[in-house]
Amino acid sequence: MLRLHRGRRAVAGFFEEIPAAVVVITAFLLFMSAMVGGLRTYDQELSASNFASQANSFLQDLEGYKNLTHLGETGVFEAAKVTSLTVYNITYDFHPPFSYSVKVTDLSNYTNRYDVWLNSSSLPTNPASLKVGLVEESTTVSIWVPELTFDEYHVALLTVTIWE
């Protein structure tokens, strides 16, 4: 039979390593959960940033859209083209992968106004339920109105709202 002696020849037991292993495993699990949470947050912010850049790009493309501009001038729209603009034209020419709303609001003091509001689908009632989000971008443009005596230039606000 094995005799145990007191002193320097102590017996190391398995139960002394369990608390140390639990502490190490717990610290590792906390570290990994923090990493996963941080990467998920980073991914969400990156996709939101990309979606915002898509809205800005869509707005810039509309500023130079051939079916709106007067002689290809970026930001100068023809009145007749503004009133004849349809959702089908925009969707056919741009093929946006998101739902959108395009709004042209005439801000001038002239009696004739050229306001247009086009929606590819209805605006969501609860933006929190959207998969990616809702982004709105605006810029000022001019609307050229040819008249018999002189040309009119109306100041307008072009607003693009996209959601997915």
DSSP 158: E
CA–CA separation, 52 vs 31, rounded Å? 32
CB neighbour list of residue 45: distance below 8 Å, 6 or more residues apart: none
What is the token pair recorded at 111? Answer: 């009696």
**Confidence category of residue 4, pLDDT binned at 50, 70, 90:** low
**Phi, psi for 76 (deg, rounded to 5):** -120, 110
- DSSP, collapsed to helix, strand or coil, labels residue 109 as coil
Residue ranges per structural domain of the chain: 29-163
- 1 has pLDDT over 60: no
Quote the pLDDT of residue 135: 87
Quote the pLDDT of residue 77: 92
| pLDDT one-digit tens code per residue, 34-93 | 999 999 888 877 777 788 888 889 999 999 999 889 888 888 999 999 999 999 999 999
Quote the pLDDT of residue 62: 92
CA–CA separation, 31 vs 24, rounded Å? 11
